[in-house]
Amino acid sequence: MALTGVVLLGAVLTACEEGALGTIETHNEKGAVETISNPPVDGCNRFNGGVTHVANHTVNDLILYTTADCTVPRGGESIYLSTQTSDDVVRSTGLWRSFTVVH
């Protein structure tokens, strides 16, 4: 019985390390909503098309990018989005296209 509990706990901890617990809610220019649940913490995550609003309801902070490959273009910038906060894109920067999870 104790071994089963240890295995189960290990599986839960592994899952927590692989994904940011919670959801990210986005809106595009037409107002459509996309919800991303437990996004991976490693690598670059893409939004479905460009988004104008991001609400971070995960336990991790995010970095938002205007490129699809999580890079900052020359003269561009990324935005740090803390947990339980949201951000609206500024027209001069362009739409958010990808994000990374801070862990």
CA terminus-to-terminus distance, the chain:
33
Residues 96 and 51 sit within 8 Å (Cβ to Cβ): yes
Architecture of domain 2-101: Sandwich (2.60)
Query: Residue 52: pLDDT above 80?
Result: yes
Nearest to 17 by CA among 47, 46, 59: 59
Q: Which two tokens stand for residue 30?
A: 């037409």
pLDDT score of 89: 86
What is the rounded average pLDDT of the residues 25-35? 93
Residue holding tokens 């939004």?
A: 47
pLDDT class of 17 with cuts at 50, 70, 90: low
The neighbour count for residue 97, using CB atoms within 10 Å, is: 19
Query: Residue 14: pLDDT above 60?
Result: no
DSSP-based three-state secondary structure for 102: coil
pTM, full prediction: 0.80
pLDDT score of 9: 44
